[in-house]
Structure formats: structure tokens, C-alpha cells
């Protein structure tokens, strides 16, 4: 079974007024990710949202300005991609969607062995999630038009690392 992961498509990252706006590249992902979500739902395949959700004094704020604080609108998925009944939402506090979360257990319980990763940022949460997924033995696909970063050169570097080092299938389309 193949699942779609929608990573950090949250108001604080995607909206220009967000606390840690990743730039136009994030907003530009919405149509392609929306299409992927519709396709997975219509095929009755799992759609799993992975969402940054921080506490007030989170250690990550030594690296980045405070963002996605629990209980704030900034931590919610952008309205255009809002989760529906039947979708799974996993909260995370670190870059990898697997670190300190129920993601691996959830995937195993549902018999999922293949992941399609979408969202932001290519070189941070997508890359470290891809690394853990590959270490755990999942097949991983990353559609190029469904990931973005505030840093274009880091975006390209991360796609190359995922393809050449992690064995991720990097696809032109979703
Ligand atoms: Zn964060």
C-alpha cells in the first residue's frame, strides 16, 4: 500500500504573513499537492498530514524563530489542503516526521510500504523524513513539483542527495 505524506503545509510556513514563510515556492505547491490529495482519496489510499507543532520554549527555536506553536492558527494546515475525515494527522516537533512520533507504527499497522512525500522544506523536513523512511525500509517517491524550499540551491542539493544517496525516486510530476 502506498500513502501520501503532506509535510508542513501549515499557515506559518505557507502564508506570506506566517511566522516562518518559506516564500512563493510554498504557495505555488498548493495546486499540485491538492491534485495529489484528490487522487489518493479517490483511489482510497491513505493521506497522512505531518504537521510541525511546537511548545513555547522548543529547542528548535535556537535555530529558527518561533513558529507553529500549539493552539495557534499558524500551526493549522492551509485551508486549501485541509484534512478531511479519514485522513491521518501526525504532530511532530523535529525535522523528521518519524522522530518521536507515531508515524512508523501507524504506517506498519496500515500495511504501508511506499511513501510519496510532498510539502516543505525540501532540504529540511522532507529530506530528513526521506532519510528516516529509507533507513526504515520504505520505498520513497518525491514528485519535484510537490516540494519547495526558501533556499533554491538547498532545494536542488536535497533532491540530488535523496536521489543519489538515499535511493529516493525523484519524479518530474506527482
Ligand atoms: Zn519547526
Region 91-102: what's the mean pLDDT? 97
67 CA → ligand 1 middle, Å: 6
- pLDDT computed for residue 172 by the predictor: 84
pTM over 0.95: yes
Cα separation, 119 vs 115, whole angstroms? 13
Question: Counting Cβ atoms within 10 Å, is residue 57 exposed (0-12), middle (13-18) or buried (19+)?
Answer: exposed
Decide if 133 contacts 113 (C-beta within 8 A). no
Q: Residue 167 Cα, ligand 1 centroid: separation in angstroms?
A: 26
Give the rounded percent of residues in the chain with a pLDDT score beyond 90. 98
Locate 149 and state its grid cell.
Answer: 524550499
Q: What is the pLDDT confidence band of residue 138, given thresholds at 50, 70 and 90?
A: very high
**Cell numbers representing residue 58 in the block:** 522548543
pLDDT at 173: 58
Q: What is the pLDDT of residues 43-57, one digit of tens each?
A: 999 999 999 999 999
Compute, in angstroms, the gap from residue 58 CA to the centroid of ligand 1. 9
34 vs 37: CA distance, rounded Å: 5
> What values do phi and psi take at 122, rounded to 5?
-50, -45
For residue 130, give the nearest of 105, 166, 94, 103 by alpha carbon.
166
Task: Please give the helix or strand (H or E) that residue 91 lies within, else none.
Answer: strand 88-92
Centre of ligand 1 to C-alpha 43, Å, is 31
Q: 63 C-alpha vs ligand 1 centroid, how far in Å?
A: 9
Pairing of strands 47-52, 2-7: parallel
Residue 174 in this model has a pLDDT that exceeds 70 = no
| 128 C-alpha to ligand 1 centroid (Å) | 13
Q: Kindly report the average pLDDT of the chain as a whole number.
A: 96
DSSP 125: I
Residue 89, beta-bridge partner list: 49
The rounded Å distance from CA 53 to ligand 1 centre is 7
Say how many Å lie between the CA of residue 93 and the centre of ligand 1.
Answer: 6
Q: What is the mean predicted confidence (pLDDT) over 134-152?
A: 97
* pLDDT-based confidence at residue 136 (cuts at 50, 70, 90): very high
Domains of the chain with CATH codes? 2-171 (3.40.50.850)
Amino acid at each position: 500500500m502506498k500513502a501520501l505524506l503532506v509535510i508542513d503545509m501549515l499557515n506559518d510556513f505557507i502564508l506570506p504573513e506566517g511566522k516562518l514563510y518559506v516564500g512563493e515556492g510554498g504557495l505555488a505547491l498548493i495546486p499540485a499537492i491538492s491534485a495529489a490529495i484528490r487522487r489518493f482519496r479517490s483511489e482510497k489510499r491513505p493521506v497522512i498530514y505531518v504537521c510541525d507543532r511546537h511548545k513555547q520554549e522548543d529547542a528548535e527555536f535556537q535555530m529558527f524563530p518561533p513558529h507553529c506553536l500549539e493552539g495557534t492558527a499558524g500551526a493549522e494546515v492551509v485551508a486549501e489542503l485541509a484534512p478531511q475525515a479519514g485522513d491521518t494527522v501526525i504532530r511532530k516537533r523535529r525535522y523528521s516526521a518519524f522522530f518521536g512520533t507515531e508515524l512508523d507504527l501507524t504506517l506498519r499497522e496500515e500495511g504501508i510500504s511506499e511513501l510519496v512525500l510532498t510539502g516543505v522544506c525540501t532540504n529540511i523536513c522532507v529530506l530528513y523524513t526521506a532519510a528516516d523512511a529509507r533507513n526504515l525500509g520504505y520505498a520513497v517517491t518525491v514528485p519535484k513539483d510537490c516540494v519547495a524550499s526558501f533556499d533554491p540551491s538547498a532545494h536542488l542539493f536535497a533532491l540530488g542527495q535523496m536521489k543519489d544517496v538515499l535511493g529516493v525516486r525523484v519524479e518530474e510530476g506527482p
